[in-house]
Amino acid sequence: MDTAQSDIIKLGEIVKSASIPPKLQEEVIVRLDQLGRLTQSPTFLPEFDRIRKYIDWIVNLPWNARTQDNLDLVNAKTVLDKNHFGLSEIKERILEYISVMKLKKEKGEEKEIFRAPIFCFVGLVGTGKTTIASSIAESLGRRFFRIPFGGMGDPLDLRGQSRMHAESEPGKIIKALKSIGSRNPIILLDEIDRVTDAGRASIMGVLVELLDPEQNHNFTDHYIDYPFDLSEVLFIATANNTTTISTAVLDRLEPISMPSYNDMEKITIGERYVLPRAIKVAGIPEGALQIDENVWPNIVRPLGYDAGIRTLERTIEGIVRRVARAIVEKKATSFKITSVNIKEFLPQ
């Protein structure tokens, strides 16, 4: 037996042992049989490479793999409070949603869960839209994947390109599923209002299919060319505003406004959440960095006002980096930032 035939047989064994839909398995086996008759043809190697790449994709998709949901409300509240200050109304809405999921599951009606309105967190930059979505995933015990829509201009980015084209590959939805290895993840459609003007209409059309439970159980990526059931995926969207989102997409979303933070809220967030996280990431020993209470107004608003906490995060991270360097240079083992020395640590 020559090498080409041996390689084809190995691919066939991979397909037969994989957990993929029987009909898809049959289709690929037929293609491999056809390929076996072309081993002496000059088109054999390109075609072999194409089908090998295709098989690698389909056998690694989570056709049947899923994670177990954690629908405990106490755990969900703990996770949300741990990661986010305030936002009480939004947290209550999330807990209500999880409660519905729990009741549906107890009645054996899990499939109906995904007909509920899909959250779309709407707010200015830095107000916590992405992090609240990842917290929902953490509280449910689901895997999380973010798809950025900023600057997206081609619906094929989502739906993939036919294998007839050179260098074709699946779209971002299939890539997300392969990456996280679960058919029931949370997929964040981030900043869906920021697609390009030229591609807006066609991308919104794909979004309607993704978000509509009557359609997404039969989603077909052009590259995979076989339906994949997305009904167990929990989609969450974010947007800076809803004016450029099509009516058909908005009809399938539940917009939830993310409030701006005032200075006192930012101080609390900085002390309880951002600073401890930044210290841990930088590897600074516990207790080696302290900040006086009267210094926080300078940290919160070093350059002026913004609605979110991006500037606050950058400022605190800059302070922490300067302290980390000072520790490495053995200038001291601990630092206390006061109104006297704050200018030495604030990023310029």
Task: Provide the residue ranges of all domains of the chain, joining segments of one domain with +.
Answer: 3-59, 73-257, 263-345
Q: Three-class SS string for 114-155?
A: HHCCEEEEECCCCCCHHHHHHHHHHHHCCCEEEEECCCCCCC
pLDDT tier for residue 117 given thresholds of 50, 70 and 90: low
Q: Are 266 and 308 in contact (CB under 8 A)?
A: no
CATH 3.30.930.10 holds for 73-257 = no
Whether residue 219 has pLDDT greater than 60:
yes
- How far apart are the C-alpha atoms of 72 and 91, rounded to whole Å? 14
Residue with tokens 């209500």, as numbered in its chain: 96
Q: Are 277 and 311 in contact (CB under 8 A)?
A: no
Per-residue confidence (pLDDT) for residue 21, from 0 to 100: 94
pLDDT tier for residue 87 given thresholds of 50, 70 and 90: confident
Tens digits of residue pLDDT in 267-309:
999 998 999 999 999 999 888 899 999 999 888 876 556 677 8
Burial code (b: 16+ CB inside 10 Å, e: under 16) for 193-227 equals: bbbeeebbebbbebbbbbbbbeebeebebbbbebe
Asked which of 44-53, 254-263, 305-314 is least confident by mean pLDDT, the reply is 305-314
- CATH topology match: 73-257 vs 263-345: no
Whether residue 345 has pLDDT greater than 80:
yes
Nearest of 189, 119, 209 to residue 149 by alpha carbon: 189
Q: What is the mean pLDDT of residues 79-87?
A: 88
Judge residue 277's burial from the number of C-beta atoms within 10 Å of its C-beta, 0-12 exposed, 13-18 middle, 19 or more buried: middle
Q: What is the mean pLDDT of residues 205-214?
A: 90
pTM, entire model: 0.85
Tens digits of residue pLDDT in 304-339:
566 778 888 889 999 999 999 999 998 888 889 998
Q: Are 168 and 224 in contact (CB under 8 A)?
A: no
Question: Is the C-alpha dihedral spanning 257, 260, 264, 265 positive or negative?
Answer: positive
Q: Which residue has the higher pLDDT, 303 or 20?
A: 20
Q: What is the mean pLDDT of residues 81-91?
A: 87
Nearest of 236, 249, 205, 243 to residue 118 by alpha carbon: 236
| The CATH fold of domain 263-345 | Helicase, Ruva Protein; domain 3 (1.10.8)
Whether residue 59 has pLDDT greater than 80:
yes
- How far apart are the C-alpha atoms of 31 and 133, rounded to whole Å? 41
Tens digits of residue pLDDT in 153-174:
999 999 999 988 878 899 999 9
Whether residue 195 has pLDDT greater than 70:
yes
- How far apart are the C-alpha atoms of 117 and 129, rounded to whole Å? 17
